[in-house]
């Protein structure tokens, strides 16, 4: 039968075998391609395997956002050696760093402006230079045993996993600039801590009164899907600090530039808690999303690689977005950027 005669099915014969197009779904299923409407993860079990293009995504980007500590370095919101605190000026390492690269040192004080004259909450210098992924600790529970019975048998009970979220040491690799900005950042941080321990410098008064650790910061980790903005996974490390200065890595620098690892310690680790996104929204308080977000693609349907100033978290529901509906969830979180 001619397939162009307006009818919805036809058959053909090859080696005396007939195939009706109405059986095409069975043929596709035989080759592991299942209709999306037939995929039921919760009520049925697949018997022989299948290729699932609907419920898979790939991570295209890991974002690491380092919040700023708030060291007591400058007396003005404009970073300059002239505006260093009088006690800090006594340290020649910090003084020269503030003189040569003031905005590098300013990354360590959240109340100081960026070079563009705007305030910001994140150390983008670290976000732009990091060259490794942030490993996270596993979550493992303790076991508790009952008292032995007369036969020597015991029963094990699952305990809690709270200790998995506390006290995590980790390293991140960075590719530094020709001006050693990452190294200078870690060096100034270490010099500040030395001065505090020696009683030469002190945190700001409000942090002393409120018992706040102003030299510690947080790290947010976001894994972004193939559309460039959907958040597949998120985590937060709270109470982080630099635990070393990579001086040994400068003994034999690479021909490809300055590369080294920085060691960190985090007090607490948590993931997939929606409060993390709420906190991120509160921290990333600058910027005006009403003026529009940066697009993922430009008018020529190529990736828009314009740099972003203010990251924002947006909650998108399936009733208003086809992408969310196709993903089979009620809503998604997306990482967007604005420059205003």
Q: What is the DSSP string of 194-246?
A: HHHHTTS----HHHHHTT--TT-EEEEEEEE-TTSSBEEEEEEEEEEEE----
Residues 331, 317 contacting (CB under 8 angstroms): yes
The closest of 280, 172, 281 to 235, measured between CA atoms, is 280
Contacting residues for 91 by C-beta, under 8 A, at least 6 apart: 191, 195, 200
The closest of 266, 79, 91, 115 to 187, measured between CA atoms, is 91
Indicate the pTM of the whole model: 0.88
pLDDT for res 19: 58
DSSP state of 178: T
Tokens of 84: 């260093």
pLDDT for res 58: 82
Domain extent listing, the chain? 1-56, 59-136+161-272
Task: Output the tens digit of pLDDT for each of the chain's 340 residues.
Answer: 444 454 444 455 555 566 566 678 787 887 888 887 788 888 888 888 888 877 788 888 999 999 999 999 999 999 999 999 999 999 999 999 999 999 999 999 999 998 888 888 999 999 999 999 999 999 999 999 999 999 989 999 999 999 999 999 999 999 999 999 999 999 999 999 999 999 999 999 999 999 999 999 999 999 999 999 999 999 999 999 999 999 998 888 877 889 999 999 999 999 999 999 999 999 998 888 888 999 998 877 788 999 999 999 999 999 999 999 888 899 999 999 999 8
pLDDT for res 2: 47
pLDDT for res 16: 59
Question: What is the rounded distance in angstroms from the CA atom of residue 149 to the CA atom of residue 154?
Answer: 7
Quote helix, strand, coil % in the chain, to nearest 5: 25, 25, 45
Tokens of 94: 């910090």
Torsion over CA of 168, 169, 172 and 177, rounded to 10 degrees?
A: 120
């Amino acid at each position: 039968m001619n397939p162009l005669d307006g009818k919805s099915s036809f058959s053909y014969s090859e080696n005396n075998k007939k195939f009706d197009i109405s059986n095409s779904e069975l043929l596709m299923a035989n080759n592991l391609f299942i209709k999306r409407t037939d995929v039921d993860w919760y009520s049925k079990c697949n018997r022989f395997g299948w290729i699932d293009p609907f419920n898979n995504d790939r991570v295209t980007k890991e974002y690491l956002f380092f919040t700023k500590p708030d060291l007591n370095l400058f007396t003005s919101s404009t970073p300059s050696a002239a505006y260093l605190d009088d006690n800090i000026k006594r340290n020649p390492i910090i003084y020269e760093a503030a003189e040569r690269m003031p905005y590098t040192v300013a990354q360590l004080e959240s109340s100081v402006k960026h070079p563009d004259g705007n305030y910001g909450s994140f150390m983008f210098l670290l976000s732009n230079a990091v060259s490794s992924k942030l490993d996270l600790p596993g979550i493992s529970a303790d076991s508790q045993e009952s008292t032995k019975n007369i036969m020597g048998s015991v029963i094990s009970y699952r305990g809690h996993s709270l200790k998995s979220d506390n006290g995590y040491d980790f390293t991140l690799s960075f590719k530094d600039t020709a001006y050693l900005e990452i190294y200078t950042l870690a060096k100034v941080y270490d010099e500040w801590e030395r001065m505090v321990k020696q009683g030469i410098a002190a945190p700001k008064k409000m942090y002393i009164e409120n018992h706040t650790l102003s030299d510690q910061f947080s790290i947010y980790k976001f894994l972004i899907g193939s559309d460039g903005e959907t958040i597949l996974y998120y985590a937060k490390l709270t109470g982080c600090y630099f635990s070393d200065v990579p001086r040994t890595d400068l003994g034999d620098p690479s021909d490809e530039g300055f590369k080294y690892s920085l060691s960190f310690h985090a007090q607490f680790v948590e993931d997939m808690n929606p409060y993390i996104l709420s906190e991120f929204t509160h921290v990333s308080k600058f910027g005006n999303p009403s003026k529009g977000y940066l697009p993922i693609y430009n008018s020529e349907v190529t990736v828009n690689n314009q740099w972003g100033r203010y990251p924002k978290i947006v909650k998108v529901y399936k009733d208003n977005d086809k992408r969310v509906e196709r993903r089979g969830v009620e809503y998604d979180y997306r990482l967007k950027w604005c420059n205003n």
